[in-house]
């Protein structure tokens, strides 16, 4: 199974957000042991650094990027992705880009806590808990 993990799911683990951290951490563990092929959009990395900027110095940024790179593949951003995302008409361009990246890498699911943000996505969005139930 191949998944694209939304930014908020990674942030759940990196910032220890309760009550979400447990399910999100389990999904990352499944990626680590190879039970799931996990990806993150390249766009998520700078967003995470921006959101956590007050908690991260340059060394910690390198560490976080290194950890993410070890656990997950990174779905790069292509020029055509920008055009395709804009054409989707999503309310949030970042979510549209993640949807397009998920389709391009042939992900089975987008794992997110914000299912409604991915209405109209060609790749089904599911919550972390739902993915764990399906495995």
Which tokens hold the place of 64? 């976080």
What is the Cα–Cα distance from 18 to 47, expressed in whole angstroms?
20
Pick the CATH number of 2-134 from 3.20.20.150, 1.20.1630.10, 3.90.25.10, 3.40.50.1010: 3.40.50.1010
Grouping H, G, I as helix, E, B as strand and the rest as coil, residue 104 is: helix
pTM: predicted TM-score of the whole model, two decimal places: 0.91
pLDDT digits (tens, 9 = 90+) for 23-79: 999 999 999 999 999 999 999 988 888 887 777 677 777 888 888 888 899 999 999
Nearest to 96 by CA among 116, 121, 78: 121
The set of long-range contacts for 11-19, using a CB threshold of 8 Å and a minimum separation of 24, is 11/48, 11/51, 11/52, 12/113, 12/128, 14/48, 14/52, 14/64, 15/52, 15/55
């Amino acid at each position: 199974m191949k998944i694209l993990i939304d930014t908020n799911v990674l942030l759940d683990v990196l910032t220890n957000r309760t009550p979400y951290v447990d399910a999100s951490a389990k999904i990352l563990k499944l990626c680590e042991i190879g039970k799931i092929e996990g990806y993150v959009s390249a766009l998520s990395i700078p967003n995470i650094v921006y959101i956590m900027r007050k908690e991260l110095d340059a060394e910690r940024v390198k560490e976080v990027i290194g950890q993410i790179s070890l656990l997950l593949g990174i779905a790069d951003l292509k020029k055509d992705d920008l055009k395709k995302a804009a054409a989707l008409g999503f309310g949030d361009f970042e979510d549209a880009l993640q949807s397009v990246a998920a389709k391009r890498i042939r992900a089975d699911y987008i794992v997110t806590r914000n299912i409604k943000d991915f209405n109209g996505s060609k790749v089904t969005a599911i919550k972390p808990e739902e993915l764990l139930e399906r495995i």
